[in-house]
Amino acid sequence: MNNNQVADDTVLDPHLVATVRKRVASGRKADFVDALHSRLLSQRLALSSDCEVDTVQAFRDAVREDIMLNGVRFVGDHRTEAFVAAVKRIVQKFLPQDKALAVSDRVMRRCSRTHSGTDSYFALQELFGGPDFLIKPRQGGTPPLDIALGRDKTGAFKCRISAANLYAIYRNADIELLLTQQGHTLEPLLEVDTVIVEAIDFSAGTTTRHLSMRTPEPEQYVHAEVRELF
């Protein structure tokens, strides 16, 4: 296991998870907000660099994606084909033919929403999940995948993939109220934005992945504190 990997059966460092879960054990919104603004979760969290997504799944994901590559946004019915072709052109520009196909395939698999979505979801489950809560993607879609592919200032051929996934955490008790109280409006306990950034250095043969998370809630959430008291 390298220093970018965590235990095989977890997404995040188990010691970090245990510390955060103690801080939010009360289930109070104020404690969730405090944890997300704390030093523990305001820094980038290392993820495994492994990728279990195959090429078929990567293409299925790409069909549903809104994608930006080197600042260019791909739109329209044939955006997936145009994106794949653009990746291949860039890779072939910098790598010999015998390596270009494998590298293009690797970029596609690493761009998969399944790849980033699985890790971000299970990271939140490890930190905040439990029998009293439901974590699910927020409605309204996700921001575009943001990909940079090419040579940097040092001449190294690199790829940087930024994938944002947006979630909401609900109390199961609030969900049950939908069945018993007519006109009840379901509001999330908390909204959490996650971003996974994967940096691939093809020249050095290295890959790093990091997860960042934040909540739109302000750090000093006085109303949440007061609401928990009544």
Q: Where are the domains of the chain?
A: 29-214
What span, in angstroms and rounded, lies between the C-alpha atoms of 164 and 100?
27
What span, in angstroms and rounded, lies between the C-alpha atoms of 182 and 163?
38
Whether residue 162 has pLDDT greater than 70: yes
Whether residue 227 has pLDDT greater than 60: no
- Looking at per-residue pLDDT, the higher value among 44 and 230 belongs to 44
What span, in angstroms and rounded, lies between the C-alpha atoms of 142 and 63?
14
Q: Write down the pLDDT at residue 8.
A: 59
Tell me the two tokens of residue 132. Answer: 């009293």
Question: pLDDT tens across 122-156, in order?
Answer: 999 999 999 999 999 998 888 999 999 999 999 99
Query: Which residue's structure tokens are 């996974």?
Result: 196
Q: Write down the pLDDT at residue 228.
A: 44
Question: pLDDT tens across 201-221, in order?
Answer: 999 999 999 999 999 877 654
Q: Rounded mean pLDDT of the chain?
A: 89
Q: How far is CA 126 from the centre of its chain?
A: 14
Least confident of 2-6, 105-109, 141-145: 2-6
CA atoms within 13 A on the CB side of 15: 2
- Looking at per-residue pLDDT, the higher value among 5 and 155 belongs to 155
Whether residue 27 has pLDDT greater than 80: yes
Across 83-109, average pLDDT: 94
Across 24-49, average pLDDT: 94
Whose CA is closest to 48, among 211, 212, 213?
211
What HEC string does the chain produce? Answer: CCCCCCCCCCCCCHHHHHHHHHHCCCCCHHHHHHHHHCHHHHCCEEECCCCCCCHHHHHHHHHCCCEEECCEEECCCCHHHHHHHHHHHHHHHHCCHHHHHHHHHHHHHHCCHHHHHHHHHHHHHHHHCCCCEEEEECCCCCCCEEEEEEECCCCCEEEEEEEEEEEEEEEHHHHHHHHHCCCCCCCCCEEEEEEEEEEEECCCCEEEEEEEEECCCCCCCHHHHHHHHC
Q: Write down the pLDDT at residue 138.
A: 94
